[in-house]
Amino acid sequence: MKILHVLNEFREIGNGIVNVATDLACFQARAGHQVLVASSGGEYVDLLKAYGGHHVYFDQQRNTKNLIKATKLWQEIVEEFKPDVVHAHMMTGAVIARLTRKKNSYKIVTTVHNEFQKSADLMRLGDRVVAVSENVKDAMIRRGIDRGKLRVILNGTIGSPRRKSLQEITPVDLNHPAIVVVGAVLKRKGSDIIIEAFKNLSSRFPNAHLYFVGGLDWQIARTLANNTGVGSKIHFVGFDPQPQRYMLSADIFAFPTLKESFGLVLIEAREMGLPIVASNVGGIPEALSHGQAGILVPPADPTALAFELEKLLESPEYRMEMSTKAYQDLDIFTVERMNYEYLELYKDITSI
């Protein structure tokens, strides 16, 4: 089968959409399918080639001049590669693939990675629309997407070709007890919520430290941290291509986001047996086995978040209990399972 993945970039920047697409492309190429990724490029190009896939430069920047150029280039790519399936992971690629498709040409699969974005409506242009959680599926139905087009394929990250094995990773030295948050520092990610929660619990646990592992995309967060009175215990370490180095040293993993379709990093935290406290929003309950593998708290509620963090901090036995629960039922979150379900979907719509 000829599979063409299209996305904006192919960079190692912690973007969950890119990570899923990279894992799929590598697994599909390794299985003997002809795989081409069209994007503006990045660090994962060499990884894809190592697995037998190929990459072609495709710039989708959204300005009129570039989109005209991109549309012409897309037609050249398609004419040369002749894909059976185009898998569009982002909005612009889905639009270009659909508007330029000729009769009896390729089939289009779109994946809704970020349902909360208004542009997610355009993913309806696919012949099949994949939701990364049941929550996303329900949301897209409410937004008017044909129920018959929709399929749910849960994300998987265990066994990813992007990642070293945990045995190969050297943990960093952290101050303990350490609460670790992985992901871009943003208001949408609830960075201010956990800063407030950490301030609330610091008087009871003066030795606790909070670590943000991700790009400081929202500079206000640093000001908020400095204004807590415990700013010296709040660390912004920046983006790390191997956040597992921090997670392996963590005592607690926190995920206070306000919006999330799934959350790949939650699976990574579970794989390491971390006690997890996360917002009860979007696809997070599904990533945490409906609350069995982690503690769910209301979003945007620093008091509730602080309460659950305090319970974990004060009880090593409770942390061990939640650590054990995190490990359970992880087998469904493998890249192998995710890739199999996508391939079955491709075969279904192409009859190959």
**Residue by residue, what is the 3-state secondary structure of the chain?**
CEEEEECCCCCCCCCHHHHHHHHHHHHHHHCCCEEEEEECCCCHHHHHHHCCCEEEECCCCCCHHHHHHHHHHHHHHHHHHCCCEEEECCHHHHHHHHHCCCCCCCEEEEEECCCCCHHHHHHHHCCEEEECCHHHHHHHHHCCCCHHHEEECCCCCECCCCCCCHHHCCCCCCCCCEEEEECCCCCCCCHHHHHHHHHHHHCCCCCCEEEEECCCCCCHHHHHHHCCCCHHHEEECCCCCCCHHHHCCCCEEEECCCCCCCCHHHHHHHHCCCCEEEECCCCHHHHCHHHCCCEEECCCCHHHHHHHHHHHHHCHHHHHHHHHHHHCCCHHHEHHHHHHHHHHHHHHHHCC
pLDDT at 351: 84
This prediction's pTM: 0.94
Per the CB < 8 A criterion, the answer to whether 207 and 231 are in contact is: no
The residue to which tokens 């639009």 are assigned: 95
pLDDT in tens, the chain (352 residues): 999 999 999 999 999 999 999 999 999 999 999 999 999 999 999 999 999 999 999 988 877 777 788 899 999 999 999 999 999 999 999 999 999 998 879 999 999 998 888 889 999 999 999 999 999 999 999 999 999 999 999 999 999 999 988 899 999 999 999 999 999 999 999 999 999 999 999 999 999 999 999 999 999 999 999 999 999 999 999 999 999 999 999 999 999 999 999 999 999 999 999 999 999 999 999 999 998 999 999 999 999 999 999 999 999 999 999 999 999 999 999 999 999 999 999 999 998 6
* CATH class of the domain at 166-331: alpha beta
Domain boundaries of the chain, sorted by first residue: 2-156+334-350, 166-331
Q: Is residue 36 classed exposed, middle or buried when 0-12, 13-18 and 19+ CB atoms within 10 A define those classes?
A: buried
The residue to which tokens 């306000």 are assigned: 258
Q: Which two tokens stand for residue 282?
A: 């979007």
Ramachandran area for residue 340 (φ above 0: left; ψ -120 to 50: alpha; else beta): alpha
Q: Is residue 75 classed exposed, middle or buried when 0-12, 13-18 and 19+ CB atoms within 10 A define those classes?
A: middle
**Which numeric CATH code is attached to 2-156+334-350?**
3.40.50.2000
Give the integer Cα–Cα distance in Å for 98 and 297. Answer: 40
Domains 2-156+334-350 and 166-331 share a fold: yes
Question: What's the distance, Cα to Cα, between the start and end of the chain in Å?
Answer: 7
Give the integer Cα–Cα distance in Å for 247 and 180. Answer: 7
Q: Which two tokens stand for residue 265?
A: 């990093």
pLDDT at 119: 86
pLDDT at 352: 64
pLDDT at 63: 75
Give the integer Cα–Cα distance in Å for 36 and 238. Answer: 32
**179: nearest Cα among 240, 123, 252:** 252
